[in-house]
Amino acid sequence: MVIMNKLNFNKETIYTYLKEIKDPEIPVLSIVDLGIVRDVKINTDGLEIVITATYTGCPAMDMIATDIRMQLNKLGFTNLKISTIISPAWTTDWISDAGKIKLKNYGIAPPNKRFLIASNGVECPRCQSINTKLISEFGSTACKAMFQCDDCCEPFDYFKCH
């Protein structure tokens, strides 16, 4: 286990470590890709990681905070504060472009401004058809809607604009 030389880090290196933490529900995305990490503060008494919830009831938040703590603890950061903010409210606009590509490759249609309200025609992440239909506005997690592709006949999730 590597113990960080604490003189030798900055905001950017901390972000690099945070990028290794995956969202528990969508394990191809890091918490940085998703826009959950809002800020990293290097205070005199330790590190502060500022996070925000995607949806107010997101049950993954406690787990994400624990994951951040574990990741940074093992790198030698023990004076750690994790604070949660609610304003400004999280939006899918904060999902990075790299994150959107990862979502698509994983089989989840990324948020698309043409479908602010989930409706028929969201592009199928498997066969790129737009001959698709909305099955339900609520999917396996609050942030997704369920779709079916009428060309490749596969079901898929759409990450709703939020």
Partner 1 sequence: MNKPIIDYLLHLADNSLILGQRNAEWCGHGPILEQDIAITNISLDLIGQSRSFYQYAAQLKNDNTTEDSLAFFRTEREFKNFLLLEQPNGDWAQTILKQFFFSSFQFLLFQQLQKNSDETLAAIAEKSLKEISYHLRWSSEWVERLGDGTEESRNRILNAVNNLWRFTGELFIPAAYETELGIELNSIKENWQEKINEIFKNATLPILSNVFFQTGGKTGNHTEQLGFILTELQYMQRTFPGCEW
Minimum separation from the CB atom of position 50 to partner 1 (A): 14
Read out DSSP for 100-139?
HHHHHHHTEEPP-GGGSS--TTPPPTTT----EEEEES--
Q: Is 122 in the site for partner 1 (CB under 8 A)?
A: no
Does position 146 interact with partner 1 (CB under 8 A)? The reply is: yes
- Residue 62 Cβ vs partner 1, minimum distance, rounded to whole Å: 10
5 binds partner 1 (CB under 8 A): no
Residue 53 interacts with partner 1 (CB under 8 A)?
yes
Query: Angle at the Cα of 124 (from 120 to 130), degrees rounded to 5?
Result: 50
- Greatest Cα pair distance in the chain: 58
Q: Which residues bind partner 1 (CB under 8 A)?
A: 53, 55-59, 86-87, 89-90, 117, 135-142, 146, 162
